[in-house]
């Protein structure tokens, strides 16, 4: 038997070929892993952005749809604030005392269930809502909503919380425990409703000034001792909020035209609202460049040219209580 032709190892050429093939395969695996990881991270950023946007829009829809809800009273002018009401930090125009409890404008009787500032600046934000200002992202809308929430049994009333007591004929806005004597008597049988005003706006930061994460927030009444205006943040990455209002010009309860910057008089005709939100991913993706142009309502066109993902969400909301009031001619 001739053993000279029996292979006893690899030649240098074969070894180099095997190493080359191994490197190619390893490179392919690394490339596939990197691509899949980037795809996963991208999808995670987009899904989180969508979830945040849905959460913020859901809260705004709920408040907007209840704007101007004053229980059986219907008419906001029939709500009387108790003389003992106070607020630690108010949020209305400068010089207006206890604005947070006003349901109509003194002297004119204009409904204050819904108020807005279009494409706000620090100056216009502060002029209408004194607790805002530098927090607000310039060029975004602000919307204030006043309404009632659910009923509360007399035994379950919480101290320092503000309620509306009504028997369907008269209504008293008061803080528990009620001052004696109250501003107006409300004969029994009556029902108590929690008062829940809110002001929605886009803040320039999430956790701390300078973190660069635009966030949808709202100012609400916080009941710790004397009621105070506090901040609740709902959704990170909300870069712009625009609201258009559907005006009913003929009294049939249906919107005839949508207006982005209504006057106070036009706001009395509002029966619907269109919410337009520009959401942005919280983290950036250096492998992606966003050069799209975004046009929202009457805000200036926006081309970011950065590394963040964005989506625009639009939804119409019926202002059912204001619509009913409009049909009634109120």
Q: Edge-to-edge strands of the sheet including 310-318?
A: 257-259, 238-247, 270-280, 310-318
93: left (phi over 0), alpha (psi -120 to 50) or beta: beta
Q: Taking a C-beta distance cutoff of 8 angstroms, is the pair 103, 146 a contact?
A: yes
Neighbours of 242 (CB within 10 A): 22
Taking the C-alpha atoms of residue 141 and residue 145, their distance in angstroms, rounded to an integer, is: 13
User: What pLDDT sits at residue 10?
Assistant: 64
pLDDT band at 16 (very low <50, low <70, confident <90, very high): confident
Give residues with Cβ within 8 angstroms of 101, minimum separation 6.
Answer: 81, 85, 87, 162, 173, 195
Average pLDDT over residues 14-23: 71
* CA 144/CA 217 separation, integer angstroms: 12
pLDDT attached to residue 38: 59
What's the mean pLDDT when you consider all of the chain? 89
Average pLDDT for 286-309: 95
Q: Quick one: DSSP state of residue 93?
A: S
What confidence tens digit (pLDDT) does each residue in 214-244 have? 999 999 999 888 899 999 999 999 999 999 9
Evaluate if residue 269 carries a pLDDT over 70.
Answer: yes
Contact 252, 327 (CB under 8 A): yes
18: left (phi over 0), alpha (psi -120 to 50) or beta: alpha
- Band the pLDDT of 9: cuts 50, 70, 90: low
pLDDT tens digits, one per residue of 151-162: 999 899 999 999
Q: The whole model's pTM is what?
A: 0.88
For residues 304-319, give the mean pLDDT. 96
Instruction: Determine the pLDDT at residue 294.
Output: 97
Indicate the pLDDT class of residue 271, thresholds 50, 70 and 90.
very high
Q: Tell me, what's the pLDDT at 199? A: 97
CA pair distance 248, 251, nearest whole angstrom: 6
Q: How far is 70 from 76, CA to CA, in rounded Å? A: 7
How far apart are alpha carbons 78 and 86 in whole angstroms?
Answer: 20
Mean pLDDT over 65-88 rounds to 90
Confidence at residue 180, expressed as pLDDT on a 0 to 100 scale:
79
Tell me what pLDDT residue 39 has: 73
Residues with Cβ within 8 Å of residue 145, at least 6 apart in sequence: 63, 64, 66, 67, 113, 114, 197, 198, 199, 200
Position 25 confidence tier, pLDDT thresholds 50, 70, 90: confident
Quick one: pLDDT at residue 328? Answer: 75
pLDDT of residue 72: 85
């Amino acid at each position: 038997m001739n053993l000279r032709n029996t292979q006893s190892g690899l030649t240098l050429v074969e070894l180099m070929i095997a190493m080359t093939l191994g490197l190619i395969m390893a490179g392919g695996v690394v490339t596939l892993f990197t691509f899949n990881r980037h795809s996963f991270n991208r999808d995670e950023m987009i899904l989180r952005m969508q979830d945040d946007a849905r959460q913020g829009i859901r809260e705004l829809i709920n408040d907007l749809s209840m704007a101007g809800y004053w229980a059986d009273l219907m008419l906001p002018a029939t709500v009387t604030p108790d003389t003992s009401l106070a607020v630690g930090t108010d949020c209305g125009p400068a010089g207006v005392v206890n604005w947070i409890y006003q349901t109509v404008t003194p002297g004119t009787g204009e409904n204050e269930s819904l108020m807005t500032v279009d494409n706000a600046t620090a100056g216009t934000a502060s002029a209408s809502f004194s607790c805002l200002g530098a927090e607000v992202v310039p060029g975004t809308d602000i919307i204030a909503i006043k309404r009632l929430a659910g009923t509360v049994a007399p035994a379950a009333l919480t101290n320092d919380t503000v309620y509306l007591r009504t028997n369907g004929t008269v209504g008293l806005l008061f803080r528990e425990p009620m001052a004696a004597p109250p501003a107006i008597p409300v004969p029994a049988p009556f029902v108590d409703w929690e008062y829940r005003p809110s002001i929605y706006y886009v803040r320039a930061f999430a956790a701390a000034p300078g973190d660069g994460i635009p966030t949808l927030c709202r100012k609400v009444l916080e009941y710790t001792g004397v009621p105070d205006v506090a901040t609740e943040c709902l959704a990170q990455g909300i870069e712009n909020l625009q609201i258009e209002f559907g005006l009913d010009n003929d009294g049939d309860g249906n919107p005839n035209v949508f207006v982005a910057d209504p006057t106070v008089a036009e706001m009395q005709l509002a029966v619907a609202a269109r919410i337009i939100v520009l959401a942005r991913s919280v983290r950036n993706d250096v492998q992606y460049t966003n050069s799209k142009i975004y046009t929202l309502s009457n805000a200036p066109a926006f081309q970011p040219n950065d590394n963040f993902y964005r989506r625009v969400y639009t939804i119409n909301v019926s202002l059912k209580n204001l619509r009913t009031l409009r049909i009634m001619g109120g």
